[in-house]
A and B are shown apart, each in its own frame.
Chain A
Amino acid sequence: MKVSKQQKNVTLDPGFAGEIQRRSGENVFMCYQCRKCASGCPSRMFMDSTPTELMRYAQLGMADEAMKKNTIWYCLSCQTCSARCPADIDIAHVVDTMRIIVQERKIKAQSNKLPLFNRLWMTMIKFMGRAYEPGIVVSLNLLSGKPAKDIGLGMKMIRKGKLKLWPSFKKPFAMIKMFAGARRLKK
């Protein structure tokens, strides 16, 4: 269905709220736009639209507005909104669910660094069992084209013995099996 909003066309996905509920158990229709979530959000100043608006987009099925803007990629998962919502919606969980949909459908996100970080992290623990900080920093910086980011801080941490120079491998076979199992179940 297409409706026209001022000059721009908006594509509606009537199943969007349903998909969020099916995946997360959160019912976005409970939101009555009180704006408590938006007013307490520490990351609001960086976002295109507020968490409250995000809820409205979800109610109206405006999936593109919800998922292509930067809002979901600036949520810090700080849980302030979820702790305060009078309608008892876990908003941070709704945001997570939208992020998962975006990553699964490979929609081009406004910020590609967070999906990249998530992918690197999960790949790392799949093969190593534990996160290896220097590895993740170096690969993230290289792949996002900023090889020298935080290098001063990194050197200082090495001097202070705060970075492990060699990764450890814990249960690699069991972990790979777990990831494969989760994949099978999702199908």
Chain B
Amino acid sequence: MKLAYYPGCSLHSSAVEYDISTRKVCETLGIELAEIKDWVCCGSSPAHQKDELMSIALPAKNIALVREMGDLKEICAPCASCYSRLKVAKQKLADDNLRKDVETIIGSKCPDDIEVLHMLDVITDRLGLEAIKEKVVRSLDGMKIACYYGCLMTRPPKVTGKTNFENPTQMESLIEALGAEALDWNMKTFCCGAAFALTKTEVVLELTRKILADAAAVGADAIAVGCPLCHANLDGRQTQINRKFGTNFHIPVFYFTELMGLALGIRAGELGIFKHITETEDFLKERAFK
């Protein structure tokens, strides 16, 4: 299986471990990722809050770049925000007038036959859980994981096409295929406040506190995520939350690709796990992971 790969800005910087683990896992599973050459930022939330036309043109530019790479039919984006923007653009371009404007801006045709997938879709839908189970060499037996989706992996359903957007179970099925226990909890689609990470940090601290508190209440050993912005908040803000609210959270937050990597027998260091802000060393040592 060969896919066009759109890492997005975060995966080249603050979420570099998501990029590393995604590439490693795909290599092990025989999925070939071809990074889009000279991709540009999808615009993320600043674009859709400021400039409607550019918020479509930027993702469209990236979709157009895929066409230059041969006959790839699918783009996979690990970042939930990139995924959402690419998908919104693809949908909006069904409008002929908008398509004409956007193609004038990007200076080329934008193909309409390229599908946009989140990395999780690639794993559970394209590859299938059976193929993964076969390759698990180190079961995550005994780990209790709260799977966190946040907003854009499932919402709005008109864009993502997900029917169970209030209570998704896609990541849970993957975590269970790896041998771990996926917990039932309330906050799996509650927003962490990512859009305000830098501008209104007090909002982020409050919302993230609620999510961590619920995960702790159901007895989660760790949280699994599929978005660099969710990870930055849940993993990176725990110290600030503890200081502000007098709590004592210390919950490792993993990208689902990192957990897959561990189950596939890849060493934690090779997956970039030690780059997390909330330490994972003890968690891994207790469970005898290298």
Q: Which of B174-182, B191-199, B260-268 contacts A (4 or more CB under 8 A)?
A: B191-199
Let me know if B49 and A100 touch, CB within 8 A.
yes
A/B pair count, beta carbons within 8 Å: 170
Judge if B70 is at the interface, Cβ distance under 8 Å: no
Taking a contact as CB atoms closer than 8 A, the residue among B41, B50, B201, B206 that contacts A99 in the complex is B50
Let me know if B54 and A76 touch, CB within 8 A.
no
Let me know if A160 and B277 touch, CB within 8 A.
yes
Judge if B286 is at the interface, Cβ distance under 8 Å: no
Taking a contact as CB atoms closer than 8 A, the residue among A80, A90, A182 that contacts B53 in the complex is A182
Q: Which residues of B contact A24 (CB under 8 A)?
A: 52
Let me know if A100 and B51 touch, CB within 8 A.
yes
Judge if A117 is at the interface, Cβ distance under 8 Å: yes
Q: Which of A89-103 contact B (CB under 8 A)?
A: 90, 92, 96-97, 99-100, 103
Judge if B247 is at the interface, Cβ distance under 8 Å: no
Q: Chain A nearest CB: distance from B90 CB in Å?
A: 16
Let me know if B48 and A96 touch, CB within 8 A.
yes
Let me know if A170 and B40 touch, CB within 8 A.
yes
Q: Chain B nearest CB: distance from A158 CB in Å?
A: 11
Q: Chain B nearest CB: distance from A6 CB in Å?
A: 31
Q: Which residues of B contact A108 (CB under 8 A)?
A: none
Q: Which residues of A contact B43 (CB under 8 A)?
A: 122, 125
| Docked CA distance A43–B202 (Å) | 11
Q: Which residues of B contact A117 (CB under 8 A)?
A: 46, 198-199
Q: Which residues of B contact A35 (CB under 8 A)?
A: none
| Docked CA distance A136–B51 (Å) | 18
Q: Chain A nearest CB: distance from B85 CB in Å?
A: 11
Mask: chain A, 111-127; 1 = CB below 8 Å from B; 0 = not: 10111111101100100
Are A129 and B41 also in contact (CB < 8 A) when A77-B195, A99-B49 are?
yes
Let me know if A129 and B203 touch, CB within 8 A.
no
Q: Which residues of B contact A43 (CB under 8 A)?
A: 191, 193, 203, 207
Let me know if B155 and A82 touch, CB within 8 A.
yes
| Docked CA distance A133–B232 (Å) | 12
Let me know if B195 and A76 touch, CB within 8 A.
yes
Judge if B215 is at the interface, Cβ distance under 8 Å: no
Q: Which of A11-19, A26-34, A53-61, A148-156 contacts B (4 or more CB under 8 A)?
A: A148-156
Q: Which of B26-34, B98-106, B125-133, B250-258 contacts A (4 or more CB under 8 A)?
A: B98-106
Q: Which residues of A contact B151 (CB under 8 A)?
A: 76-80
Let me know if B106 and A178 touch, CB within 8 A.
yes
Which A-chain residue is minimally distant from B157 (CB atoms)? Answer: A83
Taking a contact as CB atoms closer than 8 A, the residue among A74, A92, A99, A177 that contacts B107 in the complex is A177
| Docked CA distance A125–B31 (Å) | 30
Are A78 and B50 also in contact (CB < 8 A) when A117-B199, A133-B13, A174-B107 are?
no
Q: Chain B nearest CB: distance from A178 CB in Å?
A: 5
Q: Which residues of B contact A178 (CB under 8 A)?
A: 54, 57-58, 61, 105-107
Q: Which residues of B contact A160 (CB under 8 A)?
A: 274-277
Let me know if A118 and B46 touch, CB within 8 A.
yes
Let me know if A130 and B40 touch, CB within 8 A.
yes
Are A74 and B203 also in contact (CB < 8 A) when A140-B198, A179-B54 are?
yes
Which B-chain residue is minimally distant from A181 (CB atoms)? Answer: B105
Which A-chain residue is minimally distant from B237 (CB atoms)? Answer: A153
Using A46-B203, A74-B200, A99-B50 as known contacts, list a sample of 5 further A-B pairs with CB atoms less than 8 Å apart, ordered by residue number in A: A23-B52, A43-B203, A76-B194, A92-B156, A121-B46
A residues at B contact (CB < 8 Å): 23-24, 42-43, 45-46, 74, 76-80, 82-83, 90, 92, 96-97, 99-100, 103, 111, 113-119, 121-122, 125, 129-133, 136-137, 140, 149-150, 152-153, 156-157, 160-164, 168, 170-171, 174-175, 177-179, 181-182, 185-186
